Structure 1
């Protein structure tokens, strides 16, 4: 078999390691000092005071999708989010998380992260590695990319090298990229195989790569272009996470918990293992997805088991130190000093406080909480008499011995006649085991009473069944709506919130009952927000409605204007909801070179559409235009300044489809003479309109009906018979709209 120079180099490397191993063992055997035992590996602490680790959640940021990976850099947290791409969060006051930036990834999910300088490397499901400039975290920008055929679930950064685990479903790859030029990754080596390569860690010129099939793969990377697998270690189960601790390798996977191996001699030698107990009732054999080591503790993202902490001060005897349930499937974590950031699949990103306190007597209780910090047999002294509860025969010092006391830690109680768990002093029904409280003092115990606080709201429907002043808690923050100044918890006080019970809405500029977030026309001028230069300014005078004292620019102050968004109306003396200037529907008169057409405009049912048409007519917009499209037995269409169906007024208007109480359309294309808006899709109308020549019911609910011919139907029918170009239905001779005028009669 032909040998390569790289094979020779690899053999030399392994020989040197083995010689070093023998030399090390020889030196250990010759050392003085008596007794046996092994010395800790380089970089591992020999001893430390006994401690207690306590984890507590400070804040949670709910991400839009599944958070796969996180990276903390100072007070900035980068999140690879499955549906929203890259998210950038900021830690404020060391206690809260808030979003400050993002970079959407439209064609793939973000899976993994690494960072060098101000460049972030984002591994994706289908786009390879994205190089993102985060010099301004609030505005991350895509600089370049390196395409890979597989999904990049894990990225490892070592100096100027990226190690990528690319999973394509069949032939997978372990890729080595040179990033000495940070924004231009260059492929320098790769290993292909059928194993699914996952997380990796580099030591001794070897990449130890977690594998879903073989457990652990060792890849020689001294010369990336000749990278090759030197050994596979079949552990019998899938390995997800690997990490270094001095001369030790930590691995964790689907079963077996945490395993520790000695890698001083390159090849792992098992040292110990620690099962990670499935404490969550919904979990079983949970895979571990990430390991971070800080000090002599290993912090493990352990699926449904949340975060688990293992003391690895003595690698030969690891011990469980702490656990925190993240309430979701924990996929990643990042430890930095006394703060930890974790990701889970349902609740997003958690900011966690890490408190490590001394435990002098090693009883598992921190000295600060231990009444007897130097006595491992005692931790509590309920009555503070200097005698620990274990030794004290009367822990609460109420004169009743613990053996006879139903409540040995409560000096106010010692009897429980009905054995219901509530002391007789507190129990309003001391002889009835089924009752003990009567909130409304009506003589009926709360368990039997259907309305404990007698506020008229059944307990089953009452958010505060024991508080007669409260019954509803819209935002579920524990404060009833009567006392809560922000019922929907949207950050806008109820006094200023147009929708105090809807967290998704707070502003309703045009007062139409539809919040601005859902409203397609916020200022009620008929124009869609996306085509409106001033979407919050009804009269388009450049002054938003919230500061404009005359929103419709009719010279009547909004304070006294009965119709503050309608420039044609301002009084309603009989309070019938109809303006006094035009109390009934007006008419449009269309003068053409074929005759005159008069149409009633349905202002009462479609006010925005008719307002737009009337406004254009008064501006003489239609004068001189044509009916540019005529289809026999269907309709005649006009109002396009381009004369070919492509023109409009420069904006779009919203559709209006009024319905009765049963949800039936009030306006339909139910015969000839119906005036309706032309459009190219929902909410795209402008100036073009058509008049039907027959019933066209398939247009109902698609095109806004806003009028009907009352005179001149013969003119409409005559226009409907003019000769047209078969290619575009344009009349061969112009049908001209000489003038459109509006009249109340």
Structure 2
């Protein structure tokens, strides 16, 4: 008692601190909205206190089983929801933290005592616990097949064989990196809420040797986990709800969060809603119809601190800390809505829903898988044909188990529901008409062969059937605890002990007035679809001595039955779907009908919808419940996805929605963001959004959300593709051209037209991209400047033009750089004569050319004396005349070539003379010149004297 007082005191202190900060916490989360504005109308909440602190809760039949901390297991009769019975306790040696019920046993995670197994075959007198200790505290438990999976704190996952519940096996461990607090089994994987490391995923295809964990961290402390469809829903304490895509368990997605005002401790998903035990905030209900975008939570406050939640029928059972058990009315049955149909290629005989898919047994087409993520708009069926005629289907983990008439048991891998695997068969001696899978066994209603039991421990290799014959025609089977309940045609209900599935007991019968075609067991009662007698209800609290049936007559022929909460749903042949209040089994309520266009053969209720196998009409989906004061708006008119050319104008999107309490709507575009802020709307009035003209060509995803006064919303997505499907068009393209070497400033250009021009590149073939991407404009020249100084060669350029629609066009042009001009010799030193014995003489040439290459100097008659040697335009070329040349004439011919193969030449003749050959040395030449000058002066002098004497003589 002292321990209890201290716990209560600590909780009160935490609660007072929370109250001190609560207003600021609300403002931090949603500063512009009053949370009371989205709180639902008051639901009915009923309490039953317990002596301990409730941590976990599960409901089976008419009893709630509670992990009640230091009080052990508490069992409460909840037949009358408004006045739950007084708890019956079975104390445990540890502290009960979680509980799971399977068959006649309650499995308790008992903290320091490990696993406690308690016989609850008589819930009013639970048996003495049997224990299997674990190395660390057992905090969470889940039963699958013959194994108990426990979250054991710092020891990670513990796996215990419970094939004999009275003598559990030794634990096998797989350590995790954090502090495991909860576990959920789906298919071949264990999903562990692992504290600071978030979600740990462990392959348990071999439970005796679990695989290495794969992790996806979460923002806070993962304490609870629930799997539904392809998503893991994690109670992440102060971060609220974390949603993780586990379509590939080996590579989980990044969490998406929806914060809650409390601290998320426990989690359960039912239909389109996640129910979170949110500690001080009570029960938080979150719309997860779109798991990637969870809705804003709505709350049902409780007196205590909510740590766990279990949903059955229209009620949420909440483990509410020191307050004990809280029962919250979360839904109400409504008059069934008009069915929505999805036709199948054959006759729909049975349906089971798992996650976002309905699995339909189609008589002559095999298994049909239909996406029902939006129940109001089911997807097109995907088929996997089977031998025989399919009559019933049961989905467990990654496999669909089908009763396929003459083909017996059919097992189909549905790990990828959109592409079911090839069937695996195990024939039976009769005609397989009904099936129920429990643990490692498939129990088959095998017509004239009675009950067939097949080991499916390895679903890919089913075992040989074991039979227990029945008196008439086994058409359906349901497993509860250690018994198989068989709908046996004219023999009524057959009850068979299957505590040892390899050696079933002799049937015990309870005849019915009609023809037993379908069966469901809930708590102490078997509900039989009794064909022309409607619903037969039989007390099976003592399975070895079933009670006398009570009847609820229906107008047609009852083929199948499903229990959800206090209601029995019957597939009533030509009368369609019937639901009957069976809260008081001895006095069932009136039948409520919703006709279908086919002939209802079986029904499965999940969340707010009944899924009916409607024979020739395929799958019929009917809403039969609604959340109390939390119903989302209904979109009754919406646009289809469409595409428009980029030069569009004047397009709109129109939606119409209905709701009893409309509030506001918003429109978002996926990339742009908000395009219409919160705006009031009126039920039944059309909302029109004008798509702006001139948007770029791309895919636009517009999302409208209609909100009501209670925080419920519905959204519709429409994809608008603004596209340009027309290639750009050339209006001007360049011709192939040749350019003389030495060019400068040359370019090529293209002109194109297009509605959404984008970029272009220029590629030099053999080299790669040399320009771009560069934007271009419609009707405007797009230029490429040819680099100056390219060598002599042809160059092929390809211009690639794209528009915003991804359309392309290209053009290639060849530019040939050539040199057709001979080199020009601008200087040559000319012929020269020189006497032998010269000391130095250079011959010199200068030439110009765009592409100079080499030159040679040839001594005519002798050959090349220089070269080939490269030369440079404009630079002198010098040749030193050899000093050893003998007298004579020497002709030097220089030949200059360029890269274009053009050439030019020039000749210089050098004459070498000797002095005896008339070559006069410079010194002699000077004296000769002086002498000639003297002689000339003498002659001139004599001429001047002669006329004078002649004159004298003449005179």
What TM-score do you get using the length of structure 2 for normalisation?
0.27
The structure that has the greater radius of gyration is 2
What TM-score do you get using the length of structure 1 for normalisation?
0.34
Structure with greater contact order relative to length (CA < 8 Å, sep ≥ 6) = 1
